[in-house]
């Protein structure tokens, strides 16, 4: 399949910055308004946060490693040269963004910030609409029938 007119997806912003922005906003506003605690024991909260952080980072690293192995860009503002459909990409089309979401949730729990947890929902909606949907249009134009078959076979998230 040929290259699209613009050989990048045209995402709204670098996805890590979107997640980080929402997390910082939730935590910062929560501190300003003296938000209530999650009510979890500190050790339990720390353990859950650590487990979630490790899970999110492992998923992200696994997915990024598969991109590097295929010699294609991990960054969505660079052209894709290969369609990766194996490994974790056989379970979800967006394992890096799923890993970011798990990492975000783990950090919000660790920070004891209910508001940051709530803001994960609009964060995911923005990532879905202004990052993932643009990437999907780009990948469909770039890889054609191969991408469409992959899209039908594997869910967007989980």
3 state SS for 58-103: HHHHHHHHHHHHCCCCCCCCCCCCCCCCCHHHHCCCCHHHHHHHHH
Whether residue 8 lies inside any domain: the answer is no
pLDDT by 10-residue block (mean), the chain, 158 residues? 60 92 98 95 98 99 98 92 98 98 99 98 97 94 97 97
CA–CA distances in Å: residue 50 to residues 56, 57, 92, 110, 113: 10, 10, 23, 8, 15
Whether residue 2 lies inside any domain: the answer is no
What pLDDT is stored for residue 6 in this prediction?
65
The pTM score is: 0.93
What pLDDT is stored for residue 11 in this prediction?
81
Whether residue 24 lies inside any domain: the answer is yes
The domain of 34 spans: 15-153
Whether residue 1 lies inside any domain: the answer is no
What pLDDT is stored for residue 127 in this prediction?
96
Total number of domains in the chain? 1
Within 10 Å of residue 136's Cβ, how many Cβ atoms? Answer: 16
CATH of the domain at 97: 1.20.120.1630
Q: Could you tell me how far CA 80 lies from the centroid of its own chain?
A: 17
What pLDDT is stored for residue 10 in this prediction?
78
Whether residue 33 lies inside any domain: the answer is yes
What pLDDT is stored for residue 4 in this prediction?
45
């Amino acid at each position: 399949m040929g290259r699209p007119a613009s050989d990048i997806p045209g995402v709204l912003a670098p996805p890590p910055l979107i997640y980080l922005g929402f997390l910082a906003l939730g935590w910062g506003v929560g501190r300003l308004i003296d938000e209530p605690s999650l009510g979890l024991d500190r050790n339990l909260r720390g353990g859950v946060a650590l487990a979630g952080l490790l899970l999110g980072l492992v998923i992200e690293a696994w997915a990024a490693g598969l991109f590097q192995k295929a010699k294609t860009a991990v960054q969505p503002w660079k052209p894709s040269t290969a369609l990766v459909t194996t490994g974790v990409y056989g379970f979800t089309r967006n394992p890096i963004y799923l890993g970011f979401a798990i990492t975000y949730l783990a950090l919000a729990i660790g920070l004891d910030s209910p508001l940051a947890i709530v803001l994960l929902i609009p964060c995911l909606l923005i990532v879905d609409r202004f990052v993932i949907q643009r990437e999907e249009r780009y990948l469909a134009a770039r890889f054609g029938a191969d991408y469409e078959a992959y899209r039908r076979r594997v869910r967007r998230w989980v």
